[in-house]
Amino acid sequence: MTVRDGWRGRFFEDFEVGDVYEHPLGRTVTTTDNIWFTLLTQNTAPIHFDHHYASQTEFGRPLVDSTFTVALVTGQSVTDVSQNVMANLSWDEVRLPAPVFEGDTIYSRSEVLEKRESRSRPNVGIVAVKTTGYNQEGTVVITFKRTVMVYKKDHSPQSSRPIPKEG
């Protein structure tokens, strides 16, 4: 039997300006997701967790907390963009052109905008991407530019996994 490593994510050397990564997982947002995230972050805006209140707004139903949308779409991009991150440096130009509602399924993609060597750390490089999140109808619900410090291949910490014992 041959044991092969699973996907370890991209390292600095793997990024090319102009590449677009279609992130593999979509995620349907539930009422529970919205209420829990809103309350965990102490967001008291009733439009996120009070269905009666939200029914009286122009949307007629609860809006998903926008910071949940940022977190979800960032998380969807990790496997392609920041699996080997040393540090997140920034989220810039966050735009929310359309609302997200409970029951929407969110997908995402990222385009590599910039890539450069770190001036202060020889073991990492700096990568900037534009990430776009969109719903099941293809409507863009969020865009942002994210800059990350990514390890180079030979400088990444290694995961120390135990080897299973035959038995």
pLDDT band at 165 (very low <50, low <70, confident <90, very high): confident
Residues of the domain holding 75: 12-153
Q: Mean pLDDT throughout 36-64?
A: 94
Within-domain flag for 32: yes
Does residue 116 lie within any of the structural domains? yes
Q: How many CA atoms lie within 13 A of 41 on its CB side?
A: 14
CATH value at residue 128: 3.10.129.10
- Tell me if 66 sits within 8 A of 76, measured CB to CB: no
With a cut of 70, say whether residue 80 has pLDDT above it: yes
Read off the tokens for 160. 């120390």
Residue 160's pLDDT band, with cuts at 50, 70 and 90, is: low
Percent of the chain at pLDDT > 90 equals 80
The helix (H) or strand (E) run that includes residue 67 is helix 66-81
Q: What is the pLDDT of residues 12-24, one digit of tens each?
A: 999 999 999 999 9
Q: Is the pLDDT of residue 2 over 90?
A: no
Q: 79 in a domain, yes or no?
A: yes
- What confidence tier does 166 reach under pLDDT thresholds 50, 70, 90? confident
Q: Report the domain count for the chain.
A: 1
Q: Locate tokens 């900037």: which residue?
A: 128
- Residue 2 is assigned to a structural domain of this protein: no
Mean pLDDT over the full length of the chain = 92
CA–CA separation, 43 vs 37, rounded Å? 9
Residue 3 lies in a domain: no
83-122: pLDDT as tens digits: 999 999 999 999 999 999 999 999 999 999 999 999 999 8
The answer as to whether 102 is a domain residue is yes
What is the sign, positive or negative, of the torsion defined by CA atoms of 29, 31, 36, 37? Answer: positive
112 CB-contact burial (10 Å; exposed 0-12 / middle 13-18 / buried 19+): buried
Phi, then psi, of 38 in degrees rounded to 5: -60, -45
Residue 165 domain flag: no
